[in-house]
Amino acid sequence: MSHNLHLNENTGNHSFFAVKEKAWHGLGQIVQQAPTSGEAIGLAGLDYQVVKTPVKTAPFDLRIEDIGEGAKVKEMVVPNHFATVRADSMQPLGIVGKDYHIVQNKDAFSFFDAVAQQHQVSYETAGALGRGERIFITAKLPGYIRVGENDLIEKYIFLTNSHDGSGSITAAFTPVRIVCQNTLNAAMGNLSGAVRIRHTANAKERLQQAHKIMGLAEKITQEKEALFNHWAKFRINDKQLKRLIEMAMASSRETLGNVLDGKTDLLSSQYLNTVEDVYEYALSDPSQNMATTAGTVFGAYNSVIMESKRLCKAAE
């Protein structure tokens, strides 16, 4: 499943919650009012601890016929390597080094609690992916990015943390409402003003100071609002619109190179069909016939964003 939300087999619930608006996958708990951090942890199924345990292995050259059935084999400890394990289910999450420090889920929420003391933010979504090796938390910021008179884009800050050693703790501004693996990937692929914290001994203390992202968010809001309004005034024709879509939807350097070189025979049918879908949306959807989107660069940008969301839903 592309959403990759963790399913708790004991409760039968997916580890996800959202406020009011259901996610495309229709999973998790939907609440009508923004919860406190303690409530959000429970609703999102993030109320578990992660521990480090030694990594052990048996001698690699032993064969069962050499030692006999039921024989006990002395395990060897792999030096300087540890497994991160969920304490509630004993599921292994990853392999980390001796200097890796776990930041528990409840500590990740301390970032937002610190922000909430000074700014008006509210929890919007949170969840766990895979076996719980990665979590995400999204908070909604007050106000909007305003394009033209009536085109409003919501603003969020998000935090994601991994328990498998695959990356740092990351907090950043995003216009994407994160509800699954795909939308997290989209937000991570276009980070704005990110704060990154490594899993070291002082990670928890640094996390509590990460509310400086709010200053960055305000700056980024102003920059994006100015950029989007500039794009909304920049006129393009249909041929230019399709060219921008072709470039934006290229998923690799190879695809983009073939697009720029006009080598359409080397482009996959899936890519070509996606481009046509985005192009049709850009020309026909009512949201693309507004003063800010009809025949503009911002309209091209908006069509790519909306089609990416549709693909996310269709990939379930």
pLDDT in tens, the chain (316 residues): 468 999 988 888 899 999 998 887 788 899 998 888 889 999 999 999 999 999 887 665 555 555 555 556 667 788 889 999 999 999 999 999 999 999 999 988 887 777 776 777 888 999 999 999 999 999 898 889 999 988 899 999 888 999 999 988 888 888 888 888 878 887 887 777 788 888 988 887 777 767 677 777 888 889 999 999 999 999 999 999 999 999 988 878 888 898 888 888 898 998 899 899 889 999 999 989 999 999 999 999 988 887 766 665 555 4
The pair of three-digit structure tokens given for residue 315, joined into one six-digit string: 């990939």
Per-residue buried b or exposed e for 233-247, using 16+ beta carbons within 10 Å of the residue's own CB: eeebeeeebbebbbe
Q: In the Cβ-directed half-sphere of 146, how many Cα atoms lie within 13 Å?
A: 5
Q: What pLDDT, on a 0 to 100 scale, did the predictor assign at position 193?
A: 73
Question: Is the CB of residue 83 less than 8 Å from the CB of residue 52?
Answer: yes
- Residue 169 CB neighbours (<10 A): 22
- Residue 31 CB neighbours (<10 A): 15
Q: Report the C-alpha gap between 92 and 50 in whole angstroms.
A: 9
The owner of tokens 């009011």 is: 20
The owner of tokens 């766990």 is: 128
Q: What pLDDT, on a 0 to 100 scale, did the predictor assign at position 52?
A: 95
Q: In the Cβ-directed half-sphere of 179, how many Cα atoms lie within 13 Å?
A: 22
Q: What pLDDT, on a 0 to 100 scale, did the predictor assign at position 59?
A: 63
> How many residues in the chain?
316
Q: Report the C-alpha gap between 37 and 46 in whole angstroms.
A: 11
List, as own/partner pairs, every contact residues 6-10 make where C-beta atoms lie below 8 angstroms and the sequence separation is at least 24, other chains included: 6/45, 6/127, 6/128, 6/129, 6/130, 6/131, 6/132, 8/45, 10/89
Torsion angles phi and psi, residue 212, rounded to 5: -60, -15
Of the candidates 110, 116, 103, 102, the residue with the CA atom closest to the CA atom of residue 208: 110
What does pTM read for this prediction? 0.80
